[in-house]
Amino acid sequence: MNCALPDISALPLFEGISPERLAALNLRWSEKRYEPGQMVFDREDDSRDVYFLCSGALLAVYWTEDGREIVYTRIGTGSLIGELSAIDGGARSLAIFARAPSRLLQLSGPSFMTLLDEVPEIRARVMRDLVARIRSLTLKAHELSTYSIEQRLCSYLIRLALEADCLAGGGVIADAPTHLEIAGSIGANREMVSRSMSRLAKRGAIRSARRKIEILDPELLSDGL
């Protein structure tokens, strides 16, 4: 479905930017809907469009040559996806899948570049987001080279709790990732994650149930990091 200017007021990238200012750029938008497991785009895809997640949840995934799945990140509402290929013209570096029924706004690559050229506030926000991701990847590389599996798991759970604003006794991470998703995110396998989760539960640091992780003792969770 093509649309001239959809309602983008809830998207962080466009906060404070007047609709009239954006309408004058004649950007090419369309709306897309995906069911769980459906692919938005694949790794090595040569498309240049960018996407904004309006509702639902996405996963960014990389497959190794031996078929192992590495989950890079869970993508939440309001996120911008696919901007790297729009900026440098290269192939997609990750595959993006819907984790839940999801509605996305699709913006053509040339329209996205027009946004960066014509709206300095948006260009600055995209730059800050890219820098934040570089910092996050640097931290992840450090953890992979120096932390044990259990330390990586603890660090990952602490980050999830901070993002959910629930790093306190009794705080609950709702819609928690599966053990397989966690394993892909921290460079482990599902069995290692399950064993480490059990050890943390026995020590009284966490309690986990289906799609839910409760933080019982943040200090225990952070011990050894």
Q: What is the pLDDT of residues 7-27, one digit of tens each?
A: 788 899 999 999 899 999 999
Answer yes or no: do 153 and 174 share one domain: yes
Q: Which residues does 143 contact at the CB level (< 8 Å), separation at least 6?
A: 151, 152, 155, 186
Max mean pLDDT range (54-63, 150-159, 173-182): 150-159
Tell me the C-alpha distance between 97 and 201, whole Å. Answer: 31
Domain end call among 115, 143, 171: 143
pTM given for the model: 0.77
- Strands laid side by side in the 39-41 sheet: 39-41, 95-98, 58-63, 69-75
Q: Are residues 136 and 156 in the same domain?
A: no
User: Does residue 97 sit in the same domain as residue 23?
Assistant: yes
Domain's final residue, options 95, 116, 143: 143
The pairing of beta strand 102-107 with beta strand 50-55: antiparallel
| DSSP state letter for 19 | H
Question: β-strands 29-34, 2-3: how paired?
Answer: antiparallel
Domain shared by 15 and 51, yes or no: yes
Max distance between CA atoms of the chain, in angstroms, equals: 59
| Domains contained in the chain, number | 2
Residue 143, pLDDT above cutoff 60 = yes
Q: What mean pLDDT do residues 144-167 have?
A: 93
pLDDT tens-digit series, residues 116-132: 999 999 999 999 999 99
Give the model's pLDDT for residue 213: 96
Assess whether 36 and 119 both reside in one domain. yes
Q: Do both 16 and 53 map to the same domain?
A: yes
CATH code, domain carrying 45: 2.60.120.10
pLDDT, mean of residues 137-159 = 92
**pLDDT greater than 80 at residue 93:** yes
What pLDDT score was predicted for residue 3?
A: 56
pLDDT at 40 over 50: yes
82 shares a domain with 6: yes
Higher pLDDT, 48 or 185: 48
Whether residue 130 is found in the same domain as residue 47:
yes
What CATH number does the domain containing 168 carry?
1.10.10.10
**162 & 98 share domain:** no
Q: Is 217:204 a contact under the CB 8 Å cutoff?
A: yes
- Residue 139 CB-half CA count within 13 A: 12
Residues 120 and 12 in one domain: yes
The pLDDT of 68-84, averaged and rounded, is: 84
Q: Assess whether pLDDT exceeds 70 at residue 29.
A: yes
Q: Look at residue 70 in the predicted model and tell me its pLDDT.
A: 67
Same structural domain, 124 and 158:
no
Supply the mean pLDDT for the chain.
91
Q: Name the band, by pLDDT with cuts 50, 70 and 90, for residue 67.
A: low
Q: From CA 161, how far away is CA 149, in angstroms rounded?
A: 18
Q: If pLDDT is split at 50, 70 and 90, which confidence band does 1 have? A: very low
Pairwise CA distance, residues 35 & 100, whole Å: 6
Domain of residue 117: give its range: 2-143
**Are 110 and 162 part of one and the same domain?**
no
Estimate to the nearest angstrom the gap between the alpha carbon of 201 and the chain centroid: 26
